[in-house]
Amino acid sequence: MIAIVKYNAGNVTSVKNAIERLGFECIVTDNSEELQKADKVIFPGVGEASSAMAYLKEKGLDEVIKNLKQPFLGICLGMQLMCDYSEEGNVECLGIFKTKVKKFPPLDLVPQMGWNTIVQNGKENENEDVYFVHSYYAEVCEETTATCNYILNFSAALQKDNFYGVQFHPEKSGKIGEEILNKFLMLNF
């Protein structure tokens, strides 16, 4: 069973639909036991960082998430909340990835909205653009596994142990997004 973390950050319909399209069953829950029992946990989110963190703390989900052992994937705001700190609402986050989340400088349209290329191992993933919508970005750090360039270079994907994070929306990134999501759902630990 796949669990999607339920919290006050936007709606999870698209993520749920994408998982079901790939043939997996999933539940949307904020119950810590259900999250701990799940084979994989997905942490989506479109919303505001400080209010999302406040909600997670109030529910005790911050500690639950940090201690999960199964494959865990944060998407967009979910990924940003896995970092040390976010400028959005000036808030300490979960501290899984040792990096900071900052607002894009206003040198181009903000948010970045649309399809962009990601760079993995120094190589551009040609013809595999993914869909981004965000005003804040995570700085590149040791845990960065892919970068993207918009105004500056930032973390498009991060990984540490069982924790994965992506700034883009795999659930909205066409076939390549489905492949990325499927790869995560098929992980065996």
Verify whether residue 76 is a known catalytic residue: yes
Do 185 and 139 contact (CB within 8 A), yes or no?
A: no
The DSSP call for residue 186 is: T
Calpha distance 27→38 (Å, rounded): 9
Closest to 41 in 3D by CA, of 12, 8, 70, 9: 70
Selected range binding another protein among 23-31, 61-69, 122-130, 159-167, rule: CB under 8 A: 122-130
Listed in sequence order, the residues at least 6 apart from 16 whose beta carbon sits closer than 8 Å to its beta carbon are 4, 26, 28
In the list 80, 86, 147, 173, the residue contacting another protein (rule: CB under 8 A) is: 173
Calpha distance 174→170 (Å, rounded): 8
Q: Could you say which residues in the range 86-115 bind another protein, by CB under 8 A?
A: 106, 109-115
In the list 17, 57, 98, 187, the residue contacting another protein (rule: CB under 8 A) is: 17
Verify whether residue 93 is a known catalytic residue: no
CA 86 to chain centre: 14
In the list 177, 180, 184, 185, the residue contacting another protein (rule: CB under 8 A) is: 177
Shortest distance (Å) from residue 63 CB to another protein: 27
Verify whether residue 171 is a known catalytic residue: yes
Report the interface residues with another protein, using CB under 8 A: 10-11, 13-14, 17-18, 20-21, 46-48, 106, 109-117, 127-129, 131-133, 149-150, 169, 171-178
